[in-house]
Amino acid sequence: MIHLLIDGVRAARERLLASGLGVVAVLAFMGGMATILARSDSEGTALKRSLESEASRVLEVRAGGDTPTLPSWFATTVDEFDTVEGVVSLGPVSDVDHSETGRGPLPLWSITGGGELLGVGRCDPRLPVAVLDDRALGEMGLSVARGALVERGGQPPGRVLAIGGSTRIAPEWNRPVAAYTTCSSGLDEESPETITVLVLVENLSDVSSVTSQLRSVIQPIGRGVSVISDADVIRFRNDVAVAAVDQRRRNLVTVTTALLGVSLLIGVVMGIARKPSFGRLRALGATRADLALLVWAETTTVALVAVSIGSLAIVTAQASVHPWQELSWLPWLGILALILAGVGTLPAVVLASLTDPVKVLRQP
């Protein structure tokens, strides 16, 4: 069996070297895939920017109280962080009961940083964000720096964007996620300015609960929250966000369909074009199982080369649009392509095993 697999790989290598056309076709196809994906992500980025520019129309958080006291760290905003890996906002514990939204009370998690227990906080399970009681933190004699990575029980680590509680909910873009926030810069003790928060939710009914959470975080530090937008704006923005999510789903379906279609097409074309070769091998004594193994090994090798080259093309195309960290889906695309290439070998395998050597040898 190993001999057949190795020979299949060898055959693929020889044919790829022999056929510059094959490589060009593979490159063109994968380039097309890259373009689709890069374009869709560009659209996502553009949408994100447009939403940010209109954020103030959605939800505005204003300074509240007569003499707001803002800690010095507030001067710098979350905008400094280019990459948001998940957010831990340290601040008063939110006791918002989500019973009315069907999610129930927020679960309580231990939050650790650098192997130490930082405190106990609550976190909306849908959001990569936790709220840590900084008073409890102080009582425990622990401190955590902004920008530090902290871990929550069972959750991926998050970066501390703010301490004391203002910013919430800034997960990576392009996920079917509830919320995204942005803060305007220039906040300091002397000039309390508006914090602009854009709220995108999967379900419109979540807007009120997210707003409540924001209030619970911001009010204790002397700021108030006021919603100035109307429901229609929120609904519109929300629809756009959902559309963005749908767009990604559609892209996934497009890419999967394209990969499967091309794989099957290549499988059929290969099965027909290689019929003389299959017939000759059958005449030389290859069993149907031998042929199936040979074809599978050969096609999978070609697919592996194609996926490698295609991945390079996609990385190149994407890198101009997004930071490298946002290419985490690429291995999954590669695996998907390989699986679909495996499926694509089926027509060739079937045609190979059905080849009648005598008919093939009799053809001029």
C-beta closer to another protein: residue 3 or 135: 3
For strand 87-90 and strand 158-163, is the pairing parallel, antiparallel, or unpaired? parallel
C-beta closer to another protein: residue 146 or 280: 280
To which residue do tokens 């997004």 refer? 322
**Span near another protein by CB under 8 A; candidates 11-19, 32-40, 56-64, 104-112:** 11-19
C-beta closer to another protein: residue 6 or 243: 6
- For 112, phi then psi, to 5°, come to -125, 150
C-beta closer to another protein: residue 115 or 364: 364
Question: How many CA atoms, within 13 angstroms, populate the side-chain half-sphere of residue 8?
Answer: 22
Segment 262 to 301, residues that bind another protein, using CB under 8 A: 276-277, 280-287, 290
- For 203, phi then psi, to 5°, come to -120, 135
C-beta closer to another protein: residue 22 or 334: 22
Q: Which long-range contacts (CB under 8 A, 24 or more apart) does 259-263 make?
A: 259/33, 259/336, 259/337, 259/340, 259/341, 260/340, 260/343, 260/344, 262/29, 262/344, 263/303, 263/340, 263/341, 263/343, 263/344, 263/345
Q: How many helices (H) and strands (E) does the chain have?
A: 9, 11
* Site track for another protein across 345-364, x = CB under 8 A: ------------xx--xx--
Closest CB 242 distance from another protein, rounded Å:
50
Closest CB 305 distance from another protein, rounded Å:
15
Among 7, 54, 60, 172, binds another protein (CB under 8 A): 7
Site residues, another protein (CB under 8 A): 3-4, 6-7, 10-11, 14-15, 18-19, 276-277, 280-287, 290, 357-358, 361-362
